[in-house]
Structure 1
Amino acid sequence: MNLLTGATGLVGAHLLAQLILNKEKIRALFRTENKKNQAISVILKYDITSQQIEDTVEWFQCDILDIPKLESAFESVTHVYHCAGFISNSPSDYKMMRKVNIEGTANVVNLSIDFPIQKFCHVSSIAALGKPNVGDEVTEETTIAEDQKKPSAYEISKYGAEMEVWRASQEGLSVVIVNPGIILGDGFYDSGSGTLLAKLKNGLKIYPPKITGFVGVYDVSKIMVQLMNSPVVNQRYILVSENLSFKEVGESFARLYNKSTPKTRLKPWMLYIAWFFEVLRSFFTSYKRQLTLEVIPSLFKDSFYSSDKIKKELQYTFETLEVYAHKIYKRS
């Protein structure tokens, strides 16, 4: 039996579809019926029937911060896919993000040690990796240095979550970690990278002059299943299909959805003005600001990521942006 946390998120829902296609039994954790139904709507687009879902998936309503309930979810489980997490750019969400991403991960790995679980797969992010010298590619060995600034609350929380997984590996749990780039896929447009995709579908008018790693959720879910069915343990893998500029990505989706291509290059002064007005707005309303002074410079620095390790070890070929963008278009 597989246990899947975060089954109603972008990665979780598409991973659930892959496991159903593999005819594997899954206990899928969810928090609300609305999110559960949203995930099911994504799964059905894989030409999976409602009966197949019913026969394969045991839905289990649970929060990873609720330890007694979470403990009961581990009964008869042999493999754990940990996809649950909290994504936000708002400074006001920092404490909750730490609680969900770090404490929640600690809860899941601690129970995985106790039961014991045969293998554990953790979905991290390229945000948890270090920053290389200018012109160098980030690899799995590019770890965060002690004196390196971690300006983003999200980066801190994902790095902390990874430390919990590595700690568990030292205590005997067999783990694999995946570090995807910006994940694009259909079905979720109101949080995380889904908000970017929603803007891309409507036509990205202003773009940051930045290159970074992108990947389709379809590759991420397939690789996770392959890693869990492989003898590989205690390794991490960067999952990036291509290093692309936001302008390139915007132009690809503009062609598919017949929208105007990105025309306005974002400038630092635009974001500093936006930050100022966000601060004012947050003082007088309940608005959650999304910008911080520390994060703004990162939107103008290119980052290049290497997926050579996963390509070599699994002999895996990633889909290009053109391919997975077309999949998103067909499923929209």
Structure 2
Amino acid sequence: MRSTQAVLSLLALVTLLNANPVDVRNKLVPRFDPFNPCYSCFRSTWTAGPECTTDEHLRSTLSRVTNPPASATSTYTATEWCSNELRQTDWSTVYTTSSGVSTYTNWSITHLFVTKTDLDHPTSTRLCPIPSPSMECGWSNPNIIAPLDQGEDWSIEHYYNSTECQQVCLEHPACKAYRVENADQGGSNCEIFNVGIGVNGSNVISASKGGVPQWWDRDCPDHAPTECKKGKLPTATPAKTTNPSTSRPKPTTVSAKHPVPRQPEITPAPQIEKIVPREAMNLQKRIEPVPNYMSDLEYFWSSIYLIPACSCLITSAKPPTRSTTTSTVTSWTASTTVYTTYEDWFTVTTTPRETTIFVSVN
């Protein structure tokens, strides 16, 4: 067993010794894929690769680089331009520190109300129904309506409470009855009809008593204004008038402030003495302006062969240059809060001489 292993090891050694040895002294800098440039390869010398003469696109681009028109030769040399084109730039960042106080803004809104007096003396009219012995009030039915038979008037908007719905009916001389859904809950869906409820609700389909009331003749007093139900209707009494103020009115009501926190607004901190710099190095390719006569090669799919073409023309670039930038890191040592109050003004209009007239109608 040991004898077999020894033979195999010896054969492997002989094979290795007979192989072509690697000449490290003549090791070339790896050529780069035009779509994957090896920029770090240009920091030393290199040897042109076979693609310089075999690649059609590379040879065409190299021809453009090395054959400028006569008008460009006074300011352009192919080898000089390529030496700059392949020159590298070492970028470094030096960090400094500064300290300061961060500022927070806390704002609130104050609601201010001013009173505006309307001296036009408007007048409103409320109608009072005159009850009759034949009126039918408070009938209910299981929400069965026959609008055509009952002569529904579609000219009004719905969603009134009971008092408003009766006022609408009283405003329409042809209206004989009105219906309000959810009358015991504030009212909704007001409807008026040109046909009355009839004796014992005979004109209402499935009319009944004891359920939720929905139907009333126009002269029912159930939803009349309170003043109409009194023995004597009130007379209009004008209120005292006041002259409008010529200056900015003073607020009559001020609401409490409601602070709302916001994100801090950063105050620029003063820069202090630099600390020991911490450099972040990275290698980047210099961007050398393309000569005017090769401006058509600035497009991406054309320019990818400019760098390989230059590497075929020269074997070393200019030494790398260095570019340094400074970045400041701020250390906040304290914080402060600035309070700002905004005024929100509202105008409340009063009509001290508004008069309501109550009129009885059948």
Larger radius of gyration: 2
- TM-score bracket, shorter-length normalisation: under 0.3
Higher helix proportion (structure 1 or 2): 1
Calculate the TM-score normalised by the size of structure 2: 0.13
Calculate the TM-score normalised by the size of structure 1: 0.13
Higher strand proportion (structure 1 or 2): 2
